[in-house]
């Protein structure tokens, strides 16, 4: 994936290709944060079974494995956060391993099925998790087809199939990878701790901006069941705003929010 980004040397760039890359970065970031994380991992809202599958497909487009794998490892992480048994703790295993080494190991390749009994009953999710690579491959193929159509019918955009694949898929996905990985690595090392939790989670505005709200990591560990991770109005949480929009449209419902007594019992750790 990283090497394919060098294809930009041959395909060049265009404003349209860059716009597609940026759009797909944020769209798929919201799918990871809103669906893979806040829904499948933490069940912070409810939806119907059909939309649940659509959410899973959208999350899979980010090429970060399937929903069962993602949710099972994340739930395991919360149980063991920053302990020796936490697969991606920078405190225990160092920056590189926590950032991206852990998921390339044979030990962490299978899903942890014991963590997700609630999800295993949906056969369509089990099927998607087994064949999750089909979704990003389909996205890349679609980008190539779109680029070739635009090359023929909208030449003023100065794009083509290979250019859209390099920018819209490879560059966008690699940027999405590393932004997501910062929640495992940097969000346990930089920022402020409002709450004293049993881990090293921290709040960072910078990480919140590039991850659509996931940078409020210490808040999240204070109450993982909240659909909102930016607890206060000044804590920008694009994922929560997105979920509120879906709720207003009736697509999801019963968004869980942090209880006031937990939110206001801060105080503790100023490091």
The 10s digit of each residue's pLDDT in 238-260 is 999 999 999 999 999 999 988 87
Which tokens belong to 175? 């940027």
Residue 194: pLDDT over 60: yes
> In angstroms, what is the C-alpha Rg of the chain?
19
Per-residue pLDDT, averaged over 114-118, amounts to 97
Residues in the chain: 271
Instruction: Look at residue 271 in the predicted model and tell me its pLDDT.
Output: 42
Q: Which helix (H) or strand (E) holds 60?
A: helix 49-60
134-178: per-residue pLDDT in tens? Answer: 999 999 999 999 999 999 999 999 999 999 999 999 999 999 999
Give yes or no for a contact between 222 and 258, defined as CB atoms under 8 angstroms apart. yes
As a whole number of angstroms, the distance between CA 18 and CA 33 comes to 22
Calculate the CA dihedral of residues 45, 48, 53, 58 and round it to 10 degrees: -50
- Phi, psi values for residue 41, rounded to 5°: -80, -40
As a whole number of angstroms, the distance between CA 91 and CA 81 comes to 10
Instruction: Look at residue 83 in the predicted model and tell me its pLDDT.
Output: 87
39-60: per-residue pLDDT in tens? Answer: 999 999 999 999 999 999 999 9
Which tokens belong to 67? 């929903």
Express as a percent the part of the chain with pLDDT over 70. Answer: 98
CA distances from 217 to 27, 33, 39, 172 (A): 21, 12, 16, 24
76-86: per-residue pLDDT in tens? Answer: 999 988 888 88
Triad 72, 98, 197: Cα angle to 5°: 75
């Amino acid at each position: 994936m990283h090497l394919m980004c060098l294809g930009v040397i041959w395909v060049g760039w265009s404003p349209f290709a860059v716009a597609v890359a940026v759009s797909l970065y944020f769209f798929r970031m919201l799918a990871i944060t809103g669906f893979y994380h806040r829904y499948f991992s933490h069940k912070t809202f409810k939806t119907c079974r059909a939309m649940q599958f659509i959410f899973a497909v959208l999350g899979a487009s980010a090429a970060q494995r399937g929903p069962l794998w993602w949710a099972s490892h994340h739930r395991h992480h919360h149980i063991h956060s920053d302990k020796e048994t936490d697969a991606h703790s920078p405190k225990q295993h160092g920056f590189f391993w926590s950032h991206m080494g852990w998921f390339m190991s044979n030990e962490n390749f299978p899903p942890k099925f014991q963590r997700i009994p609630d999800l295993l009953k949906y056969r369509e999710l089990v099927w998607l998790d087994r064949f999750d690579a089909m979704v990003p491959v389909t996205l890349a193929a679609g980008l190539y087809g779109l680029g070739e159509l635009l090359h023929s019918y909208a030449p003023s955009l100065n794009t083509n199939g290979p250019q859209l694949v390099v920018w819209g898929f490879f560059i966008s996905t690699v940027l999405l990878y590393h932004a997501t990985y910062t929640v495992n690595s940097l969000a346990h090392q930089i920022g402020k701790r409002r709450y004293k939790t049993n881990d090293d989670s921290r709040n960072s505005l910078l990480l919140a901006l590039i991850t659509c709200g996931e940078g409020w990591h210490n808040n999240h560990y204070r109450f993982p069941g909240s659909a909102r991770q930016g607890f206060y109005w000044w804590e920008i949480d694009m994922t929560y705003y997105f979920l509120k929009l879906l709720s207003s449209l009736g697509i999801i419902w019963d968004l869980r929010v942090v209880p006031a007594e937990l939110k206001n019992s801060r105080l503790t750790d100023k490091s």
